Amino acid sequence: MLISLKQLGRCTRAQNVARSIKWSRRRLSGTTSRRAALLDDDLITLFDSPSRKPSTSIQARGLFLDDRITHPGMFQRLVDDTLVRADLLLRRILSAEHSRPELFQVVKNLDRLSDLLCGVIDLAEFVRNAHPDEEWVYHANSAYESLCEFMNTLNTHEGLDKVLDIVLGDTTVTSQLSTEALKTAHIFSADFARSGRNLPPHQRGRFVTLSSEILTLGRAFLNEASAPRPPISIPASQLQGFKSHTNRFSGKSLTIYPGSVQAHDIMKSSTNESLRRRLYVAARSSSVAQVEILERLLRARAEMAKLVGFDSFASMTLDDKMAKSPDNVTNFLSVLATHNRPYALNDIEKIRQRKHTVLGNSQSHDIHPWDRDIYLPPQSPESPIIMPPLTVGRVFRALSRLFTKIYGISFRPVNVSLGEVWHDDVQKLEVVDEAEGVIGWIYTDLFSRSGKPNGAAHYTVRCSRRLDEDNLSNDLPITTDSSRTLRPPDVAHRIRGHDGLWQLPIVVLMCEFSRSSLNHGQAILDWQEVSTLCHEMGHAMHSMIGRTEYHNVSGTRCATDFVELPSILMEHFLTSPTVLALFHDSEPDLPSSSINSAHPQQNVSALDTHDQIMLASLDQEYHSRAALEPGFDSTAVLAALTDRQGVWPYVQGTSWQTQFGHLFSYGATYYSYLFDRAIASQVWSTLFQNNPLDREKGEKFKREVLKWGGGKDPWEMVSAVLDDPRLASGDAQAMRQIGQWRIAYDVSSAGTHL
């Protein structure tokens, strides 16, 4: 594909407030930039004591400083202009068949075309998922769908594929392309192959239809996955032993929504097993319509894969991933499950023993999944907390200190213009490399609000790429039609130590931290929220450091089963006493025992890892050839897998697969979380565990992994950073080797309980 689609989301309406903040300024050493830059302590001021007074001295601008999008109605004009420019680039690429000099520019121009479309699609995707104003969401969604339809047409364009084949078949041309350019060319070629390049016209038409159908079904599936399940009515007599404020209600019954705070409280504290079972089943039930949406999606994906010559959707998807094939994924999961199963069964035995201790001999001690939350012992003992209050500002200051020590990179708050951001909560950081200067920007939107999507996410609004060879022949004139053509923002920057002009990355970090813990205007994060923020910051740093000449391999635009490595590695740093010292004002050299006792561990039990293995296995089965078999029943597949590989049997009446949203966004690649957790554990123990602030090791991780984005074979990157040549080939044995690595049980889990 020319475009990489990300997870879809939901948005509803709230009030958008634009604002800016006045800051004292100092000039960055060694640069002519006049951008605002402050000491680390000013990060605390930015996040913990933000100014709410808009600055009248700053001119109103468009969203993300793009003046083409100052109000929602401009999206359609932006789409029209983008299609005009895309057509001009398309014509130039197609003309290369008859112009040998142009053959040398085909890969660059394909990447320019991809960047042109992504520049609007990524912006529209973010806005439709995150903007609090319904009008913005509506116009962004229309723009997104229009350009995705155009993208589907390009993906099956015979001429583009033909020209690229000419380039790759001409050794005179390929010998002059860089390694990164060749990698980009082969990515395009593989994507064209998966888009039906060799199909006759009527089958190509079917491919386009299926592509659109999958997008529509995927969005419907995600909407249903996050929809609340029907409530249940609980008689007062069943609330005995329920340690919550809800036992003080007046009346004969209480209405509880599965998944609500009240439901979680009941599952964790009520000794009424029948009640817990009702809530467990209710939380994991699905309507016939919800199941049908998922199964239609799976069938459409399977048909698409078969149409282009693959055995299954998993085979098609994994063809260019680290895993390479479904068999390799199955082998990896099997090795990992064999290692983990005894530990998971040990967790089950702990539940059994605790249930016996609590209930004595008065009730049955059969163990069920609804016993887990109430009887699974805590993973770490309570201990005195000597860490300072973990305000958002203090966490960002600690992260800036950490990145300064291992990468030579720090964060600096900057002013935002009126209209630049979508909500009053949003803050902006300049990312500064001590050698290169400013290398990108991070916008943070951290607090929950009505209508905001659930969970945490990293959005790439703009990728890094080299610009100085663009438009040398004036192929994209700015003012061909002043009545409709918009002037793109000036995104060309110089980077110290790099030749040419560069487009710098822009990313957004989205979280849903609660404001219920506000203390004198400061939000105090719990340790899980700190871990979440560090995880998303790992993605952001990948985007910032992945300095590639081509947009299509920049930063996090890499193999799906590799992209989580930097973010999961970040979570490991929070297990180090040396790193925890960075959260203190003066970075004290505290005794390891003192900081360890203060570290509120969020351990992953073996049951959590078992859950992830089951989710990854279900993802593989759903995207196998079985999806096209007559009578395919996703619930029956779930039940059979649970009884075959689970540590407790399938519960009749449950069909929680319709709530597994990653089936769409990570279709056939959900194993990536486990896979990258295993690699991250190995990288941590090899490079950082003994000295997590070692600059030499940090530079090695930058040099061997982060800087390449997707421009190098990820197996070669892992092999180089671990000094293990056995991994370089990425064969089945390498997959098994990773499956044998121990996944640390003190890093937060990516998923939820089954």
pLDDT tens for 581-636 read: 999 987 655 544 444 444 444 455 789 999 999 999 999 999 999 999 999 999 99
pLDDT value of position 359: 84
* CA 366, 368, 370, 372 torsion-angle sign: positive
| Residues whose CB falls within 8 Å of the CB of residue 142, separated by 6 or more in sequence, listed in order | 75, 76, 79
**Do both 74 and 150 map to the same domain?**
yes
pLDDT, mean of residues 563-569: 96
φ/ψ of 341, rounded to 5, equals -55, -45
Task: Encode pLDDT of 645-679 as tens digits.
Answer: 999 999 999 999 999 999 998 999 999 999 999 99
Question: Does 707 fall in a domain?
Answer: no
pLDDT, mean of residues 204-228: 89
- CA neighbours closer than 13 Å in the CB half-sphere of residue 94: 11
pLDDT, mean of residues 526-533: 92
**Do both 545 and 436 map to the same domain?**
yes
DSSP class of residue 524 equals B
Active site includes 536? yes
Query: Which tokens hold the place of 499?
Result: 């030749």
pLDDT value of position 7: 31
CB 217 within 8 A of CB 293: yes
pLDDT, mean of residues 64-92: 94
Which of 560, 508, 505 shows the shortest CA–CA distance to 537? 508
| Residues whose CB falls within 8 Å of the CB of residue 309, separated by 6 or more in sequence, listed in order | none
pTM score, whole prediction: 0.85
Question: Is it the case that residue 237 has pLDDT exceeding 50?
Answer: yes
Question: Does 467 fall in a domain?
Answer: yes
**Do both 405 and 531 map to the same domain?**
yes
Question: Does 70 fall in a domain?
Answer: yes
CB 484 within 8 A of CB 84: yes
**Do both 126 and 273 map to the same domain?**
no
Which of 62, 30, 49 shows the shortest CA–CA distance to 416? 62
Question: Is it the case that residue 364 has pLDDT exceeding 50?
Answer: yes
Q: What confidence category does residue 21 fall into, taking pLDDT thresholds of 50, 70 and 90? A: very low
Q: Count Cβ atoms below 10 Å from residue 740 Cβ, excluding itself.
A: 12
Question: Is it the case that residue 481 has pLDDT exceeding 80?
Answer: no
| Residues whose CB falls within 8 Å of the CB of residue 617, separated by 6 or more in sequence, listed in order | 333, 641, 645
Question: Is it the case that residue 327 has pLDDT exceeding 70?
Answer: yes
The domain of 263 spans 232-283
Q: What confidence category does residue 490 fall into, taking pLDDT thresholds of 50, 70 and 90? A: confident
**Do both 398 and 265 map to the same domain?**
no
- Choose the final residue of a domain: 283, 298, 326: 283
Question: Does 366 fall in a domain?
Answer: no
Pairing of strands 437-447, 506-513: parallel
pLDDT value of position 594: 46
Burial of 69 (0-12, 13-18, 19+ CB in 10 A): buried
Question: Does 687 fall in a domain?
Answer: no
DSSP class of residue 667 equals T
pLDDT value of position 374: 92
pLDDT value of position 517: 52
Q: pLDDT higher for 580 or 33?
A: 580
**Do both 138 and 262 map to the same domain?**
no
Q: pLDDT higher for 253 or 218?
A: 218
pLDDT value of position 399: 97
Q: pLDDT higher for 59 or 95?
A: 95
- Choose the final residue of a domain: 522, 537, 557: 557
Which of 85, 87, 84, 92 shows the shortest CA–CA distance to 109? 92
Which of 684, 412, 724 shows the shortest CA–CA distance to 544? 412
pLDDT value of position 32: 34
Q: Average pLDDT over the chain, rounded to whole?
A: 84
Torsion of CA 551, 552, 553, 558, to 10 degrees: 140
pLDDT value of position 600: 47
Question: Does 252 fall in a domain?
Answer: yes
Q: Which of 430, 536, 549, 571 is catalytic?
A: 536
3-state secondary structure (DSSP) of residue 590: coil
Provide the domain count of the chain: 2
What does the alpha-carbon distance between residue 706 and residue 566 come to, in Å, rounded to a whole number?
8
Q: pLDDT higher for 208 or 643?
A: 643
**Do both 170 and 278 map to the same domain?**
no
Give CA separation, 639 vs 527, 634, 676, in Å: 35, 9, 27
**Do both 167 and 245 map to the same domain?**
no
pLDDT value of position 45: 87
Q: pLDDT higher for 43 or 687?
A: 687
Question: Is it the case that residue 432 has pLDDT exceeding 70?
Answer: yes
Adjacent-strand bridge partners of 431: 411, 440
Adjacent-strand bridge partners of 445: 510
Indicate the helix (H) or strand (E) that contains 412: strand 409-413
Which of 146, 143, 130 shows the shortest CA–CA distance to 10? 130
pLDDT, mean of residues 127-149: 94
pLDDT value of position 279: 94
Question: Does 72 fall in a domain?
Answer: yes
**Do both 188 and 251 map to the same domain?**
no
Rounded to a whole number, what is the distance in angstroms from the first to the last CA of the chain?
Answer: 33
